Protein backbone atom coordinates (compact mmCIF):
# COMPACT_ATOMS: atom_id res chain seq x y z
CA UNK A 1 0.00 0.00 0.00
CA UNK A 2 1.31 3.42 -0.96
CA UNK A 3 0.61 6.44 1.25
CA UNK A 4 0.28 9.82 -0.48
CA UNK A 5 -0.45 13.44 0.38
CA UNK A 6 -4.08 12.66 -0.48
CA UNK A 7 -4.18 10.27 2.50
CA UNK A 8 -2.76 13.03 4.72
CA UNK A 9 -5.30 15.54 3.46
CA UNK A 10 -8.14 13.06 4.03
CA UNK A 11 -6.93 12.70 7.64
CA UNK A 12 -6.18 16.38 8.13
CA UNK A 13 -8.19 16.66 11.35
CA UNK A 14 -5.65 14.36 13.04
CA UNK A 15 -2.92 16.91 12.32
CA UNK A 16 -4.88 20.07 13.04
CA UNK A 17 -6.31 19.07 16.43
CA UNK A 18 -3.12 20.35 18.01
CA UNK A 19 -2.42 24.07 17.76
CA UNK A 20 0.75 24.74 15.78
CA UNK A 21 2.48 26.56 18.66
CA UNK A 22 2.11 23.44 20.87
CA UNK A 23 3.25 21.10 18.11
CA UNK A 24 6.30 23.29 17.48
CA UNK A 25 7.20 23.15 21.20
CA UNK A 26 6.76 19.36 21.38
CA UNK A 27 8.84 18.86 18.24
CA UNK A 28 11.61 21.09 19.57
CA UNK A 29 11.67 19.15 22.87
CA UNK A 30 11.36 15.80 21.03
CA UNK A 31 8.41 14.78 23.22
CA UNK A 32 7.27 11.16 23.02
CA UNK A 33 3.57 11.87 22.58
CA UNK A 34 2.77 8.26 21.70
CA UNK A 35 3.79 7.15 25.19
CA UNK A 36 1.63 9.86 26.75
CA UNK A 37 -1.41 8.74 24.72
CA UNK A 38 -0.73 5.02 25.04
CA UNK A 39 -4.25 3.94 26.01
CA UNK A 40 -5.90 6.10 23.33
CA UNK A 41 -3.59 4.65 20.65
CA UNK A 42 -4.28 1.08 21.75
CA UNK A 43 -8.05 1.68 21.96
CA UNK A 44 -8.07 3.47 18.62
CA UNK A 45 -6.06 0.72 16.93
CA UNK A 46 -8.46 -1.95 18.16
CA UNK A 47 -11.35 -0.05 16.56
CA UNK A 48 -9.73 0.43 13.14
CA UNK A 49 -10.99 -1.41 10.10
CA UNK A 50 -8.57 -3.87 8.51
CA UNK A 51 -8.02 -1.37 5.68
CA UNK A 52 -7.07 1.39 8.13
CA UNK A 53 -4.79 -0.99 10.04
CA UNK A 54 -3.05 -1.77 6.76
CA UNK A 55 -2.62 1.98 6.09
CA UNK A 56 -1.19 2.48 9.58
CA UNK A 57 1.24 -0.42 9.13
CA UNK A 58 2.35 1.09 5.80
CA UNK A 59 3.12 4.39 7.52
CA UNK A 60 4.97 2.69 10.37
CA UNK A 61 7.18 0.90 7.82
CA UNK A 62 8.01 4.06 5.84
CA UNK A 63 11.26 5.97 6.03
CA UNK A 64 10.89 9.27 7.88
CA UNK A 65 12.24 11.19 4.86
CA UNK A 66 9.44 9.78 2.71
CA UNK A 67 6.86 10.66 5.36
CA UNK A 68 8.20 14.20 5.55
CA UNK A 69 8.11 14.55 1.76
CA UNK A 70 4.44 13.55 1.79
CA UNK A 71 3.70 15.94 4.65
CA UNK A 72 5.47 18.72 2.76
CA UNK A 73 3.40 18.11 -0.35
CA UNK A 74 0.21 18.07 1.75
CA UNK A 75 1.30 21.37 3.31
CA UNK A 76 1.82 22.93 -0.13
CA UNK A 77 -1.73 21.91 -1.08
CA UNK A 78 -3.44 22.91 2.20
CA UNK A 79 -1.26 25.59 3.79
CA UNK A 80 -1.70 23.94 7.20
CA UNK A 81 1.06 25.05 9.56
CA UNK A 82 1.11 21.72 11.43
CA UNK A 83 2.10 19.92 8.22
CA UNK A 84 4.84 22.48 7.58
CA UNK A 85 6.24 21.90 11.07
CA UNK A 86 6.26 18.13 10.66
CA UNK A 87 7.76 18.26 7.16
CA UNK A 88 10.71 20.34 8.35
CA UNK A 89 13.94 18.30 8.64
CA UNK A 90 14.33 19.46 12.26
CA UNK A 91 11.23 17.38 13.10
CA UNK A 92 12.88 14.11 12.05
CA UNK A 93 13.86 12.96 15.55
CA UNK A 94 10.40 13.77 16.93
CA UNK A 95 8.78 11.68 14.19
CA UNK A 96 11.25 8.82 14.68
CA UNK A 97 10.60 8.71 18.43
CA UNK A 98 6.83 8.66 18.00
CA UNK A 99 6.84 6.15 15.14
CA UNK A 100 8.98 3.76 17.18
CA UNK A 101 6.75 4.10 20.22
CA UNK A 102 3.65 3.52 18.11
CA UNK A 103 5.26 0.45 16.51
CA UNK A 104 5.92 -0.93 19.99
CA UNK A 105 2.39 -0.22 21.19
CA UNK A 106 0.84 -1.82 18.12
CA UNK A 107 3.08 -4.89 18.23
CA UNK A 108 2.31 -5.37 21.94
CA UNK A 109 -1.40 -4.99 21.22
CA UNK A 110 -1.22 -7.66 18.48
CA UNK A 111 0.57 -10.05 20.85
CA UNK A 112 -1.93 -9.47 23.66
CA UNK A 113 -5.03 -9.96 21.51
Residue ranges in the chain whose pLDDT is less than 70: 109-113
> For position 14, what pLDDT does the model report?
87
Taking a C-beta distance cutoff of 8 angstroms, is the pair 42, 109 a contact?
Answer: yes
d(CA 78, CA 8): 10
Give me the residue spans of the domains in the chain.
5-12+31-112
Give residue-wise pLDDT tens across range 11-29. Answer: 999 899 999 999 999 999 9
Q: What is the pTM of this model?
A: 0.90
CB-count exposure of residue 74 (10 Å: 0-12, 13-18, 19+): buried
Amino acid sequence: MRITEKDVIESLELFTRVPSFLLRRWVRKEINLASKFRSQIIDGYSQLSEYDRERLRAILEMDVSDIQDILGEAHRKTGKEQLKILSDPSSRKFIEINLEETRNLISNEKRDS
